[in-house]
Every structure is written in structure tokens, then in C-alpha cells.
Amino acid sequence: MLEVVQQHFCRHVVVLPEAASIVFRGGFPRRPTPAAREAAQRAIYRVQVELERMVLEEGDAAVILCDRGTVDGLAYWSRPETSFWADVGTTHARELARYDTVLHLRTPAAHRGYNQSNPMRTESAAEAAAIDARLLDVWADHPDRLVINTSDDFVVKLDQTLAAIRRAVPACCQPR
């Protein structure tokens, strides 16, 4: 979906790659233990922060679109929330404030198109649904969050997403 967004808007709308894919494709071990999952979330958090920082420091972006945000790691965290924030050296409120707008694209159920064709997706449909519910919860306090529900028609979901992004980008970056 982000590829379509990138083609739809001007170059000042910068689309960042998913930090988790960078981490895992780069060879970071993906193990089932709580310690390994938490190590992965700390690494993903740091990559996400640096991706965002890089684009901010380049100074050419009017809008930065992220596949995920720094708060997402909390949805994968097994210990209390306070331990996540202590481990990454910040607070939930500070991380929510990093983002002007949050679009939460709901994960489709198996009968609505969820599959594991993406090699980075290792969760079953039921596990993905549970993570999606936790993501709803960890972003619940964001003051400008829009939830885009699944649809039997991907184009409907894409249109809703593009409309939401259009509302968030400046006039100069709108599609022509």
C-alpha cells in the first residue's frame, strides 16, 4: 500500500520502510523466547528512530509516512509497559507526541485476505488479530488517530487510506 502512496504524492511526502523488515531481513535472529522478542523490539525501535531522524535532518520532507511507529513495539512486549519505555529511554506520552496523525489499518482476518505470502509475516491470522488488538490499545491515547477497517475489497481500503493521507498533507503535495 505504501508503494501506491509514494506514487500518488509529490517527493515531499516521504515514505519510510518498515523498521522490522529492515531488522529481520538484515539477519537479526527471530526467536520465540521473551528475551529474543524484546531484543528485537528494542532494535526495531532504534532503527525506527534513526529512519525518522534521518529524514527530519535532511529537511526536505513536508510529511513523513511510517509503516509502523515507535509505539508499536509495546504491542509485542511481554513485560509491563514501564519496562519497555525504560529499556528504550523514553515515555509513552513522548512517543505518541512524535506523530501528528496515526492511521491504523486494521489487519484483515484470514477470510478477508490475511495470508503469510510476505516472508516477514510469521504470525497466524489469529496471532495477527491479537497483535492488531494490542496495537489499537497502545495507540488509543493519540489525539489524532484514524482507524481504517478491513474491507472485502482492497481498493476500498486503499481509497480510504489515500483520502486520510490527503487530509494530512499540505496543498502543495496533493496529487495533481
Mean pLDDT along residues 125-144: 93
Which three-class secondary structure state does DSSP give residue 74? helix
Mean pLDDT along residues 1-23: 87
For residue 127, what pLDDT is reported? Answer: 86
For residue 176, what pLDDT is reported? Answer: 61
Mean pLDDT along residues 8-27: 92
For residue 132, what pLDDT is reported? Answer: 93
For residue 118, what pLDDT is reported? Answer: 55
Cβ 126 vs Cβ 109: under 8 Å: no
Mean pLDDT along residues 129-151: 94
Q: Is the pLDDT of residue 150 over 70?
A: yes
Over pLDDT 70: what percentage of the chain?
92
Helix 81-88 and helix 34-58, axial crossing angle in degrees, nearest 10? 50
Rg (CA), the chain: 16
pLDDT in tens, 89-130: 999 999 999 999 999 988 876 555 555 555 666 777 788 889
What stretches of the chain show up as alpha helix (H) in DSSP? 2-8, 19-25, 34-58, 81-88, 92-96, 125-138, 154-168
Which three-class secondary structure state does DSSP give residue 15? strand
Chain position carrying cell 508499536: 72
Mean pLDDT along residues 158-173: 88
The Cα 147–Cα 98 span in angstroms is 18
pLDDT in tens, 2-11: 778 788 888 8
Tell me the CATH number of domain 2-170, given options 3.40.50.20, 3.40.50.970, 3.40.50.300, 3.40.630.30. Answer: 3.40.50.300
Mean pLDDT along residues 27-32: 94
The Cα 97–Cα 16 span in angstroms is 18
Cell of 2: 505504501
